[in-house]
Amino acid sequence: MSADDVWNWSATRQAAAIRDGSLSSRELLDTFLERIDRLNGDVNAVVTLDVDRARAEAGRCDDEHARGQSRGPLHGLPITIKDAIEVAGMRSTGGARELRDHVPVADAPAVARLRDAGAIVFGKTNVPLWSGDLQTFNDVFGTTNNPWDTSRTPGGSSGGAATAVACGFTAFELGTDIGGSVRFPSHFCGVYGLKTSYGVVSQRGYLDQVGGGTTDADINVFGPIARSAEDLDLLLGIVAGPPPEQAPAWRIDLPAPTVDMLAGLRVGVWLDAAGAPVDRASGDVLRSAVDAIAEVGASVEEAHPPVDFDEQVGLFVQLVSAAVSPSAGPESGELLGGSHYQWLAAQRRRAEIMSAWAAWFGGYDVLLCPVATTAAFPHTQEGTLFERTLDLDIGTRPYAELLAWTGLIGVVNLPSAVPPVGSTPAGLPVGMQVVAPYLHDRTAVAVAGAIGELTGGYRPPPMAR
C-alpha cells in the first residue's frame, strides 16, 4: 500500500494502519509534506513547518513500533496545530506581528496531552489577529482561502486548521472556539468539529494577547477538527483534562453517549430566528437533513428551550466582549469589558438561562440548529466586524449576525458537534450544530456521526483530490 492513498483517511484509520505496520509514521508525514508543498500555495493554510524535527520524531516512532513499543493511541500521527495555541520549540504567533518571532518553551496542556498520546506536531495553521474574526487573515501570513472556492473564506478563527484537515495536510487539528471558531470553519470547509463543554479541555496556552495563555477566557474552549466523528470521540478522550495545577486532585470523566442511533432519537429543531435568518441555499440543505433524520425514525419536533433568542445572543455579546477585551489593549479593553458589577449581573442571568436549557433537555436528546446564516462567503476584509455586511440570497445582512447561532450555544457552555450535512447548489459545504446537555459531549459527537453517515459526511474538496 502506498502512503499516497491514505491522506484523506480518518485519523483513527491512519493510527490503526501505523499500529498494524501497513503504514509508517515517516510515510504518512512525507505524504502530508508533499501535499502541503503542492497545494498549500492555493489555500495558505499551513504557515509554519518544523520538518527536520518531525522527521526525526517520526523515525523514532517507527523504530519504537519495530521494537513493539507504543506511545499511545496516536502513536506516530503527524499533526498541525492552530497558530493561536502554544507549541514548544515552534513559532506560535496568534496571527500578531508582536509575536511573529515568539517560540514558546512549553506546550499548551492540550498539546502536551496529544504528544503524550503519540502525536507528532510538525506545523502551525493560520489564524486572524488574536483569533478575532470569522475569516482568517493577518499581517504576518496573509489570507487563507476556502479549499472549495479560493475566492471565499474558510471561516475563522480556525480557518487554517479546517482547511488543512479538508485538504489532507494533517491527521487532525486542534482549534479554539470562543464565538464559533471551531464550528464556522468546520461548516465552511466540510469537516467535523467539536466545541467542547466549557472547562472540559484546558485552554492554557491560548494566545489572544501578548503574554496570554496563563489564564482562562470566559466562553472559550479548545476542540478537535477532523475528517470523522469517530476521530472527534478519540481526540476528546485524549485532550479532556484539568489544567496542570488541578491535575493532582481532579480528573474529567465524561459520560458515555446516551444514544447511539437516529431511530428513536428525541430531536428538537431550531432553524429560524428573526434576529439571524438563514439564507435559502443553506436553509434548504438543513431542512433536507432534518427530513432525512425523521425518515429513519427519529422523533423530530420544531422545539427549543423557552428562552428569548435575541436576549441570549445579546448576553453572549456582552460576555464575549468582556472575555476578549484584554486583546484590545488597556483603553479599548476598558470600554469592551464593562464593569465588574455588569459582568456579575450577566453571570446571574446566564445561570438562569442555563437552568432553562438543562430542564428542556429532560425531554430531548439533542437540539439541531444552524452554524451560521450562510455557507462560505467571498473574502470581506474591509472595515470592522460591525461595519461589514454580507449580500445573501435573502438580502443584505450585518456581518456580525453570523455570530448569533454559535454565540447562542457558546454563552451557555454547551457542547456542539458539527457534521457536514450537504452542499448548496454552488457546491459549498453546509454543516449543522448538534447540541447536547452540558458535559454530554460524547452524545453530541455520536449523533453528529450518525447524521454524517446519513448525509454523506466528509468529502475531499475538488482541488485536493
Which CATH number is 372's domain given? 3.90.1300.10
Same domain for 225 and 322, yes or no, is no
Query: Which pLDDT band holds residue 306 (cuts at 50, 70, 90)?
Result: very high
Same domain for 222 and 287, yes or no, is no
> Is 27 a member of any domain?
yes
Same domain for 303 and 204, yes or no, is no
What range does the domain containing 321 cover? Answer: 266-439
Handedness of CA 124, 129, 133, 137 (dihedral sign): negative
DSSP reduced 3-state for 376: coil
pLDDT of residue 95: 98
Q: List all residues 6 or more positions away from 37 whose beta carbon is below 8 Å from its beta carbon.
A: none
Query: Which pLDDT band holds residue 332 (cuts at 50, 70, 90)?
Result: confident
> Is 255 a member of any domain?
no
Same domain for 218 and 334, yes or no, is no
- Considering the candidates 25, 92, 157, 186, report the single residue annotated as catalytic: 157
**What is the SS3 string spanning the chain?**
CCHHHCCCCCHHHHHHHHHHCCCCHHHHHHHHHHHHHHHHHHHCCEEEECHHHHHHHHHHHHHHHHCCCCCCCCCCCEEEEECCECECCECCCCCCHHHCCCCCCCCCHHHHHHHHCCCEEEEEECCCHHHCCCCCEECCCEECCECCECCECCCCCCHHHHHHHHCCCCCCEEEEECCCCCHHHHHHHCCEEEECCCCCECCCCECCCCCCCCCCCCCCEEEEEECCHHHHHHHHHHHEECCHHHCCCCCCCCCCCCCCCCCCCEEEECCCCCCCCCCHHHHHHHHHHHHHHHHCCCEEEECCCCCCHHHHHHHHHHHHHHHHHHHHCHHHHHHHHCCHHHHHHHHHHHHHHHHHHHHHCCCCCEEEEECCCCCCCECCCCCCCCCCEEEECCEEEEHHHHHHHHHHHHCCCCCEEECEEEECCCCCEEEEEEECCCCCHHHHHHHHHHHHHHHCCCCCCHHHC
Same domain for 227 and 282, yes or no, is no
Same domain for 52 and 135, yes or no, is yes
> Is 158 a member of any domain?
yes
Return the residue matching grid coordinates 491514505: 6
**pLDDT, tens digit, 9 for 90 and up, residues 351-368:** 999 999 999 999 999 999
**pLDDT, tens digit, 9 for 90 and up, residues 100-129:** 999 999 999 999 999 999 999 999 999 999
> Is 465 a member of any domain?
no
Same domain for 294 and 186, yes or no, is no
pTM of the model: 0.98
pLDDT of residue 344: 97
Same domain for 26 and 172, yes or no, is yes
Domain termination site, one of 217, 246, 275 = 246
CA distance 302 to 297: 16
**pLDDT, tens digit, 9 for 90 and up, residues 414-428:** 999 999 999 999 999
Q: List all residues 6 or more positions away from 204 whose beta carbon is below 8 Å from its beta carbon.
A: 108, 109, 213, 214, 215, 216, 243, 244
CA distance 65 to 77: 13
Return the residue matching grid coordinates 500521527: 77
**pLDDT, tens digit, 9 for 90 and up, residues 237-246:** 999 999 999 9
Catalytic status, residue 157: yes
Catalytic status, residue 82: yes
CA distance 125 to 148: 18
Tell me what the pLDDT averaged over the chain comes to.
Answer: 97
Query: Which pLDDT band holds residue 3 (cuts at 50, 70, 90)?
Result: very low
> Is 259 a member of any domain?
no
Same domain for 273 and 316, yes or no, is yes
pLDDT of residue 260: 81
CA distance 235 to 250: 20
* pLDDT at residue 2 is higher than 60: no
Catalytic status, residue 181: yes
> Is 458 a member of any domain?
no
- Considering the candidates 10, 24, 25, 82, report the single residue annotated as catalytic: 82
Q: Are 238 and 254 in contact (CB under 8 A)?
A: no
Same domain for 203 and 335, yes or no, is no
Number of domains in the chain: 2
> Is 445 a member of any domain?
no
- Considering the candidates 24, 181, 197, 423, report the single residue annotated as catalytic: 181
* pLDDT at residue 1 is higher than 90: no
* CA 412-390-155 angle, 5° bins: 55
> Is 229 a member of any domain?
yes
What integer is the mean pLDDT of 164-185?
A: 98
pLDDT of residue 4: 58
What integer is the mean pLDDT of 26-52?
A: 98
> Among 96-100, 107-111, 209-213, where is mean pLDDT lowest?
209-213
Same domain for 207 and 279, yes or no, is no
Same domain for 151 and 186, yes or no, is yes
